Structure 1
Amino acid sequence: MSSNHSIFVYSEIGKLQSVLLHCPGEEIENIVPDYLRRLLFDEIAYLDQARKEHNQFAGILRDEGVEVIYLTDLMAEVLENSEVRNEFLKEFMEEGKVVTQGLQEAIIEFFSSYTPKDFIKKCIAGLRKEELRHIKPKALGDMIRDPYPFYLDPIPNMYFQRDPFASIGKGISLNVMANETRNRETIFAKYIFKYHPRFKDVPRWYNRDKTHPIEGGDILVLSDKVLAVGISDRTDPTAIERLAYKLLSTEQCFETVLAFDIPKARAYMHLDTVFTMVDYDQFTIYPGIEEPLDVYSITMGKNNGIIIKYEKDDLPNILKKHLKLEAVNLIRCGGGDSIAARREQWNDGSNTLAISPGKVVCYNRNHITNEALRKNKIEVLEFESYELSRGRGGPRCMSMPLVRDNI
């Protein structure tokens, strides 16, 4: 272990010691075509196969000596305390727009016999209307017939553990999600970092009560001095500025936050879908973002105000300067073939998870990009990706590193 800290992440590539995952569950089977867009899915995954693939992913990590922690296990430990459980359920219902007294009482009654583990899995899976037979109507909202099939929506994006919070140094950014449907995902992290004995004293550089969205897929810890954050479809520049101010004004060793302004499009949801770090001086990149890319540096001024500068250079030179490297190699998604690049980027060809410098986990389907990585002396560990990729997220999206060795 590099540290006794519960959170310790000062790079994208330091040897991974501990990681948080969520294996897809019944929430995937509660997605129906009418509500795909509402739940941010393009299509419906086959759960059995998705679980097999996720278990392969976790198996690769364990074989590499990584401690794999599941979100549901941490939450079950937190919810052993009945007062915390009641507090959580009330907040969870309110975030899910369940506010009428009759319905709240029926849901509390429904969950009363559940074990903590089953309770948390059910919260993620969603509560169908047919499961609640006895509601004593106490408000107009309890009496109205509504064709929508859920009282509590499923949370199918939960297997993308990268987004609700982000490990930065010895602290976290507890995020505000851009879409209302995903904001409930951050409640789980809130309770883990408030009540779990292993995680409850972790400082926060951003909090979920803020007004502007920021998501973990946009946050890359490039070194112990430099944080990169994408201004994306899901992350607002005001949030980046506030995160930078909080982080740079602490005792932490970070000195610069680089804001990458990427195109706002569904295909480029987060910075890590178009750009990730795979070695000390090597990065994967989707060529489609290189030309329009604007980068801004945020540093702390002398009198405790922040200084924001437009970086006038191309990306390799910006990275060389801030990471103090002699050379930078950008490995292009699709190996430079523009059709392959677009196809493989759509299935997260650039979304690599580094286990250690020069060793990454990738989906097997992105064979052209994976071959390009290998040509650049990167060791690629692959797993199957028929179903997980339907959620539009890759190995980095599905994992939140908690502890990495210093490099």
Structure 2
Amino acid sequence: MGDETQRGLLNITSEIGKLKAVFLHKPGKELERLTPDYLRQLLFDDIPWLKQMRIEHDEFANVLRERGAQVLYVEDLLAEVLQDKEVRKNFIYDLLKQSKIDSLELHQALYDYMYNRTPEELVEISIAGLQKKDVNLEDREYSLTDYIDADYPLYINPIPNLYFMRDPAAVMGNGISINSMHTDARRREPMLIKYIYENHPLFNKDQSPLWYDYTIPHSLEGGDMLVLSKEVVAIGCSERTSPQAIEILARNLFSGMKELREIIAVRIPPIRAFMHLDTVFTMVDYDKFTIYPGIQDKVEVYRLTRGKNNGITVTPETDLVDTLKKSLRIPSVKLIESGGGDAITAAREQWNDSTNTLAIAPGVVVTYSRNEASNEVLRKNGIEVVEIDGSELVRGRGGPRCMSMPLCREEL
């Protein structure tokens, strides 16, 4: 890793280049803090079985390693940067701010408690949350908030969606977008990435531009961001990514990525079933994409190019396939319909993230084994499908692409 540390590890110029390094988070205690009362608030439809979930996630990580990718865990890198006392101090203040701990007495008591934890324990609190029963704060003055919220079991909420590492940040070129999350349940996640980006030598922020910051109020999530080539990026305008955020990101990318020629904005219906662009559409080879057939007549396509004075020119397009051919400068594009094109099968398997494939090399993708019809149609179209179990992982509504944040790919 020596050379990469010197020049910065980050380098993503396609969706399909051979995967060299990836960021993951192994599901942990935060999933055990899910209860039926708070499922909707924390964006889950069901309570996963953590033991099996971790087995499935290990299988996923091992598949990536076997195919030549270095697997890095967000919890490990964050613990490393929190060894620094000043970083740890700032991190705790930001964690308390994110958790809306406004009572002066409670703020000081929780600060003192967390500062005396090990870096690993502090990382666990930042992800799994902090239960009231785990902290003895009886010697302090109680605030009005303490009395009003007495029945709520947590001081700091868990962030159980963190294993979907794609969303809080995305590498584009040699820089990174640290995103502004749409829902309260996920707003802490990019803060963790920001601390790693700013303080870990592996990221070398001096060589890796910041394209977007999570403090910007317009929501932007990584599941909507696809780097199709050095010259073309696609961004979904969805339930969780706003047009204002796309324009801000576009200006920064056009300013900092000299080879970038255009950005394709794909508007999809703002509903949970089509949560992000990669929920319904992913790239699997140079000229092949998998798509949920129920979305094809529901998208709007816009092409963004450089305008005058750091402006942006927006051109409405009439057809996704034609736009992809023109933008990628290829003679044809093959859309592979999930579920084999059958409406019922496609809808069932799309709920289990059949279209959320992770390309680990051109024409090689990781998918859930349960999506049998979609995997078969991929194989019939010349795609190598590497299957993993996902019976518990899928309960959070995300697939292999959602669970991974590629840091570096071989250039095509």
TM class by shorter-chain length?
over 0.9
Number of the residue aligned with 1:172: 176
Q: TM-score, normalised by structure 1?
A: 0.97
Number of the residue aligned with 1:259: 265
Q: Which 5+ residue runs of structure 1 have no aligned equivalent?
A: none
3-state DSSP class of the match of 1:249?
helix
Counterpart residue identity of residue 384, structure 1: D
Q: TM-score, normalised by structure 2?
A: 0.96
Number of the residue aligned with 2:321: 316
Matches within 5 A, 1:76-91: 76-91=79-94
Number of the residue aligned with 1:128: 131
Aligned with residue 221 of structure 2, among 204, 215, 220? 215
Root-mean-square deviation (CA, aligned residues, Å) is: 1.4
Matches within 5 A, 1:70-109: 70-109=73-112
Number of the residue aligned with 1:378: 383
- Residues in 2 aligned to 1:113 and 1:341: alpha-carbon distance in whole angstroms: 51
Aligned with residue 400 of structure 1, among 391, 394, 405? 405
Number of the residue aligned with 1:50: 53
Q: Does 1:365 align with 2:373?
A: no
> Which deviates more, 94-103 or 175-184?
94-103
Q: How much identity, in percent, do the aligned residues show?
A: 51
3-state DSSP class of the match of 1:188?
helix
Matches within 5 A, 1:4-403: 4-135=7-138, 136-137=140-141, 139-199=143-203, 200-201=205-206, 202-312=208-318, 314-403=319-408
- Residues in 2 aligned to 1:43 and 1:283: alpha-carbon distance in whole angstroms: 30
- Residues in 1 aligned to 2:271 and 2:56: alpha-carbon distance in whole angstroms: 27
Q: Is the 8 A contact 1:225 1:254 kept in 2?
A: yes
- Residues in 1 aligned to 2:129 and 2:309: alpha-carbon distance in whole angstroms: 49
Residue 261 of structure 1: how far off its partner (Å): 0.5
Q: Deviations over 1:146-182 (max 9, x none)?
A: 3221110011001000000110001011100000121
Q: Is the 8 A contact 1:106 1:132 kept in 2?
A: no
Q: Which 5+ residue runs of structure 2 have no aligned equivalent?
A: none
Q: Is the 8 A contact 2:170 2:225 kept in 1?
A: yes
Counterpart residue identity of residue 291, structure 2: I
Residue 307 of structure 1: how far off its partner (Å): 0.3
Q: Deviations over 1:97-154 (max 9, x none)?
A: 1121222222223324422122202221111111122141264324444322111001
Q: Is the 8 A contact 1:255 1:299 kept in 2?
A: yes
- Residues in 2 aligned to 1:83 and 1:349: alpha-carbon distance in whole angstroms: 44
Q: Is the 8 A contact 2:358 2:401 kept in 1?
A: yes
Residue 246 of structure 1: how far off its partner (Å): 1.1
Residue 38 of structure 1: how far off its partner (Å): 0.8
Q: Deviations over 1:5-63 (max 9, x none)?
A: 31100000001000000000000000000011111111110000000000000000000
Counterpart residue identity of residue 353, structure 1: L
- Residues in 2 aligned to 1:25 and 1:177: alpha-carbon distance in whole angstroms: 21
3-state DSSP class of the match of 1:52?
helix
- Residues in 2 aligned to 1:160 and 1:319: alpha-carbon distance in whole angstroms: 27
Q: Is the 8 A contact 2:92 2:114 kept in 1?
A: no
The count of aligned residue pairs is: 406
Q: Is the 8 A contact 2:354 2:374 kept in 1?
A: yes
Residue 291 of structure 1: how far off its partner (Å): 0.5
